[in-house]
Chains A and B, each alone.
Chain A
């Protein structure tokens, strides 16, 4: 079945540092890939969506890219701010799996002021 692996459980950066979070996936179908962000006390919010057609998405200073060759997708931001502190989840939906989101385990991003 479809799976997503997100190995970076916690990342600690200083303001203005570069952020890079990586996920790898396994699927037999054409996936749509998502990044969700969860702030304390809230549910996950959609941050970015990447399909096999567009390979890249940009929102709120974040950029998501997708590499079919290595079956990986990344989230990056050039300069993080303290307000970016949150948990970031990667997820995928396979083309034939009825819209079921398969999540990674999440990366907790902490930004030191």
Chain B
């Protein structure tokens, strides 16, 4: 089973409010990733966990936070949503960095 689950599938948020997105996988993968995808653009890596070590991309460092309480779960947290955060957020996992990544169905976030 290569299933990655994401909750919720759709999220409506108000400007300035926090947003918390959840991802889970049962493949015992060491690495979990979060991507942001906007229409007609390539998915953009935001951050990833390798085991318990969080790596955040330099240009999104201050905008997103994440936690990984155990191997199966990973969250993406936005402290104060802005209109520019409206996008599809994709979670993925892989056995280790460099291996194939398996994606969840995504959470569509709309900020109003």
Binding site for B on A (CB under 8 A): 4, 6, 9, 32, 34, 36, 41-46, 49, 89, 93, 95, 98-101, 103-106
Contact B31 A43 (CB under 8 A): no
CB distance from B74 to the nearest CB of A (A): 15
One of B13-21, B65-73, B79-87, B91-99 at the interface: B91-99
A-chain residues with CB within 8 Å of residue B92 when the two chains form the complex: 43, 101
17 new A-B contacts at CB < 8 Å, known A43-B105, A49-B100: A4-B42, A9-B40, A42-B106, A43-B4, A43-B103, A43-B104, A44-B43, A44-B103, A45-B103, A95-B98, A98-B48, A99-B96, A100-B48, A103-B43, A105-B41, A106-B40, A106-B42
A-chain residues with CB within 8 Å of residue B31 when the two chains form the complex: 99
CB distance from B73 to the nearest CB of A (A): 17
Contact B40 A98 (CB under 8 A): no
The total of chain B residues at the interface (CB under 8 A) is 27
Binding site for A on B (CB under 8 A): 4, 6, 31, 33, 40-45, 48, 50, 55, 90, 92, 94, 96-106
- What DSSP secondary structure best describes chain A's contact surface? loop
B-chain residues with CB within 8 Å of residue A36 when the two chains form the complex: 103
B-chain residues with CB within 8 Å of residue A95 when the two chains form the complex: 98
A-chain residues with CB within 8 Å of residue B44 when the two chains form the complex: 103
**Residue from A43, A93, A99 in contact with B90 in the complex, judged by beta carbons closer than 8 Å:** A43
Given contact pairs A41-B105, A43-B4, A99 touches B98 in the complex (Cβ within 8 A) = yes
Nearest-CB residue, chain A, relative to B88: A43
CB distance from B67 to the nearest CB of A (A): 20
Interchain CA distance A42-B90 in the complex, whole Å: 10
